[in-house]
């Protein structure tokens, strides 16, 4: 068995595995069967041990955002629904999110993990309420104990050092974002509530089956119920993403984010906000890789509201 395994590895190592190698991979597939250490050909100025970037120096400074650059997202707490009135007197439904002390807790690079990503932590939690591996992770990174962790894929030019604070000014009013969360759990539900079925006849011929889903299959052929048949079951409690949500207002003083419309999840749940993928914001307006607080900047900043223009968007056009 051992000899066969060594022979198999030797043959696989000798095969031309570079044919299926993608330039996006940090190393060719044949490296999986080699005992030699992988050597990264990174720039000399990226070598080092600071910033928590797996052997590279990551500086917290503003950069120029390219067309393919991808920023990190933020972790928010859903405060609830509200309503605001614009300058024309129209009522706008608003969801308020609280960006609760977002801090970069880990940096993942292609040299170590094989991809670029930032792990963010939000909120606070006592040590007694965390597991020992979680406490060890926070202590190894030198960051405060966090309540919620989330990893956001980024590009190489959007990396941030460990300990960087992400505020609500990471976004700008008027841009579009994608919001991901866990929907409200509804428990066990029937087909009328879960899939909007019409139910069975309520006047004649139905005996205590008014809210039933009806037939679910055939007789001997095929003699079974096909997969993905809509039937009663658990409703809600799944991850969903609402795309192209408009940022109406941000409140830097309280780290509040005001979004137009509704987002998944009950009040008090965590949601994850990132730049819209299908309708990308203007790269010239976004702070890249994030917003850095300037020296002497006042803490009690006024809320920033999106520019609605001179025409009421809620009025019908003649």
Model pTM score = 0.78
The string of pLDDT tens digits covering residues 168-203 is: 999 999 999 999 999 999 999 999 999 999 999 888
The string of pLDDT tens digits covering residues 70-83 is: 999 999 999 998 88
Average pLDDT estimate for 45-71: 76
Q: Find all residues with CB under 8 Å of 68, minimum gap 6, and list them.
A: 155
pLDDT of residue 52: 66
pLDDT, the chain, mean = 84
Of 195 and 85, the one with more pLDDT: 195
| Band of residue 49 on the pLDDT scale cut at 50, 70, 90 | very low
pLDDT of residue 51: 61
| Domain spanning 75-99+167-187+232-291, CATH class | mainly beta
| Band of residue 86 on the pLDDT scale cut at 50, 70, 90 | confident
Average pLDDT estimate for 25-53: 43
Query: pLDDT at residue 296 above 80?
Result: no
Average pLDDT estimate for 29-50: 40
Range 103-166 has CATH code 3.30.160.810: yes
Query: pLDDT at residue 46 above 60?
Result: no
pLDDT of residue 143: 96
The string of pLDDT tens digits covering residues 104-113 is: 999 999 999 9
Range with lowest mean pLDDT among 5-14, 140-149, 225-234, 258-267:
5-14
Query: pLDDT at residue 286 above 50?
Result: yes
| Band of residue 298 on the pLDDT scale cut at 50, 70, 90 | confident
pLDDT of residue 35: 35
Of 55 and 226, the one with more pLDDT: 226
Domains of the chain, by residue range, sit at 75-99+167-187+232-291, 103-166
Query: pLDDT at residue 11 above 60?
Result: no
| Band of residue 315 on the pLDDT scale cut at 50, 70, 90 | low
């Amino acid at each position: 068995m051992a000899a066969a395994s060594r022979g198999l590895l030797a043959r696989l190592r000798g095969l031309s595995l570079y044919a299926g190698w993608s330039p996006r991979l940090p190393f060719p597939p044949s490296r999986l069967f080699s005992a030699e250490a992988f050597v990264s050909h990174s720039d000399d100025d990226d070598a080092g041990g600071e910033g928590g970037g797996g052997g590279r120096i990551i500086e917290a400074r503003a950069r120029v955002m390219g067309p393919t650059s991808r920023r990190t997202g933020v972790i928010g707490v859903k405060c609830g629904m509200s309503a605001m009135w614009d300058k024309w007197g129209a009522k706008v439904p608003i969801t308020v999110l609280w960006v609760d002390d977002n801090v970069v807790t880990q940096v993942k690079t292609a040299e170590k993990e094989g991809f670029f990503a930032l792990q963010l932590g939000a909120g606070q939690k006592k040590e007694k309420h965390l597991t020992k591996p979680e406490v060890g992770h926070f202590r190894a990174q030198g960051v405060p104990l966090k309540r919620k962790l989330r990893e956001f894929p980024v590009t190489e030019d959007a990396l941030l050092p460990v300990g960087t604070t992400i505020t609500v000014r990471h976004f700008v009013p008027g841009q579009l974002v994608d919001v991901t969360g866990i929907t409200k759990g509804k428990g066990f539900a029937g087909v009328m509530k879960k899939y909007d079925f019409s139910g069975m006849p309520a006047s004649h011929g139905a005996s205590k089956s008014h809210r039933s889903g009806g037939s679910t299959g055939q007789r001997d052929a095929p003699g079974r119920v096909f997969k993905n048949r809509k039937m009663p079951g658990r409703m809600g409690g799944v991850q969903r993403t609402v795309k192209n949500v408009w940022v109406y207002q941000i409140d830097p003083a309280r780290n509040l984010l005001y979004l137009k419309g509704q987002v998944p999840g009950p009040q008090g749940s965590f949601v994850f906000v990132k730049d819209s993928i299908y309708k990308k914001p203007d790269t010239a307006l976004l702070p890249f890789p994030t917003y850095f607080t300037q020296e002497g900047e006042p803490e009690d900043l006024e809320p920033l509201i999106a520019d609605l223009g001179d025409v009421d968007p809620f009025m019908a056009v003649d």
